[in-house]
């Protein structure tokens, strides 16, 4: 049984696969299996994976009809033999010392969850530059209660949601029948939230061992499903319940996730302008009304803290179910309106 099983969904990532796979082959710690799940790629991804697998017995290739990254990761979990699981994206790459560092820490701490840093990389044409880091707060927890005290720090530092900056215990995943949910967005975050409920120990380091290639925002925008607001309700429901159950829904932590709730409402409503959906004026307001009238959003707005003028306005729009006013708030918010105008123009020009 290998120490690590590295599970990587592969979907049309042929231009990046060589770099990713070679970064795994270059690891200074070699007791791992690399499970590549081709998710119905239409480019040369599968043949590239098979070429590497033919020369390296640690690389295992499996295929499935196109079903999404979550389903691919679940497929990989079912086949993984390692003591610990890692979920890496096939268009990123890994520091050559990553597994050696992680193996040494696991031997030292024997924790259920190990979290580490990641370097974000922005690539424009042939130019590659560092563009921020995802660095967790340092932590060494040996009880479930201590782990829960770290939860808000993981959320607010933007390191809770992704799966590529963590090491998971395989037996804990299988004991609790954990899997990535079948949602078009937030599946990684929901999986991590469920896993966090199962852990009794955690250790985090601030070393950036993973290189995350920033996504093309145009492509992200185009992939948003029309039920994105329902997915956000699921995410916000889970997040709020976690904060309440962990005894941290108070003070600055409460203000943080309440503000997140209101801004998610504004963001979801603004998606009605997505040129791919081609909504009429009436359809836009019908779409926003669905969001405002959702029972969870109505209930949450009754008590969620609204500290700024913008969030106070969003709260009033929810409680009065006023779609027209919410759209006016969106147009007045310079950042979001400029952001969506830019990508709407990009999509219209390139679609």
Separation between Cα atoms, residue 86 and residue 166, nearest integer Å: 7
Nearest-CA neighbor of 296 among 212, 225, 240?
240
From the number of C-beta atoms within 10 Å of its C-beta (0-12, 13-18, 19+), residue 236 rates as buried
pLDDT at 348 over 50: no
pLDDT at 329: 84
pLDDT digits (tens, 9 = 90+) for 272-320: 888 788 889 899 999 999 999 999 999 999 999 999 999 999 999 999 9
Cα separation values, 80 from 3, 23, 84, Å: 11, 20, 9
Question: Which residues are CB-contacts of 57 (< 8 A; sequence separation ≥ 6)?
Answer: none
pLDDT at 347: 42
Q: Indicate the SS3 state at residue 128.
A: strand
pLDDT at 349: 45
Average pLDDT over residues 23-51: 97
Q: How confident is the model at residue 346 (pLDDT cuts 50, 70, 90)?
A: very low
Q: Provide the total of helices (H) and of strands (E) in the chain, helices listed first.
A: 16, 10
Mean pLDDT score of the chain: 91
Return the DSSP state at 207: E
Domains recognised in the chain with CATH numbers: 4-214 (3.90.550.10), 218-350 (no CATH)
pLDDT at 350: 45
pLDDT at 340: 53
pLDDT at 335 over 80: no
Q: Name the residue with higher pLDDT: 103 or 351.
A: 103
Q: Is 109 left (phi over 0), alpha (psi -120 to 50) or beta?
A: alpha
């Amino acid at each position: 049984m290998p120490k690590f099983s590295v599970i990587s969904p592969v979907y049309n990532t042929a231009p990046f696969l060589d770099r990713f796979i070679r970064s795994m082959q270059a690891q200074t710690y070699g007791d791992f299996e690399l499970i590549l799940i081709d998710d119905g790629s239409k480019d040369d991804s599968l043949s590239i994976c098979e070429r590497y697998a033919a020369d390296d017995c640690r690389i295992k290739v499996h295929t499935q009809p196109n079903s999404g990254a979550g389903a691919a990761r679940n497929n990989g979990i079912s086949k993984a033999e390692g003591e610990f699981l890692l979920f890496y994206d096939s268009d990123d790459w890994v520091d050559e010392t990553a597994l050696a560092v992680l193996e040494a820490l696991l031997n030292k701490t024997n924790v259920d969850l190990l979290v580490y840093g990641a370097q974000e990389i922005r690539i424009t044409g042939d130019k590659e530059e560092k563009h921020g880091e995802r660095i967790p707060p340092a932590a060494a927890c040996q009880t479930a209660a201590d782990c829960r005290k770290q939860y808000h720090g993981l959320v607010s530092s933007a390191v809770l949601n992704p799966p590529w900056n963590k090491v998971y215990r395989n037996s804990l995943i299988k004991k609790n029948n954990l899997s990535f949910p079948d949602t078009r967005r937030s599946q990684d975050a929901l999986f991590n939230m469920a896993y966090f409920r199962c852990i009794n120990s955690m250790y985090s380091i601030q070393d950036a061992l993973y290189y995350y290639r920033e996504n093309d925002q145009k492509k992200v925008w185009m992939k948003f499903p029309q039920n994105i607001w329902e997915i956000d309700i699921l995410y916000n429901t889970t997040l709020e319940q976690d904060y309440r159950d962990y005894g941290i829904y108070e003070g600055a932590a409460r203000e943080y996730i309440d503000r997140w709730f209101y801004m998610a409402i504004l963001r979801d409503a603004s998606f009605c302008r997505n040129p791919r959906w081609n909504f009429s004026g009436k359809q836009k307001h019908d779409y926003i009304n669905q969001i405002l009238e959702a029972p969870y959003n109505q209930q949450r707005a009754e008590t969620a803290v609204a500290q700024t003028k913008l969030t106070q306005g969003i709260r009033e729009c929810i409680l009065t179910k006023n779609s027209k006013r919410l759209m006016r708030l969106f147009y007045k918010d310079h950042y979001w309106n400029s952001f969506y105008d830019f990508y709407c123009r990009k999509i219209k020009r390139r679609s």
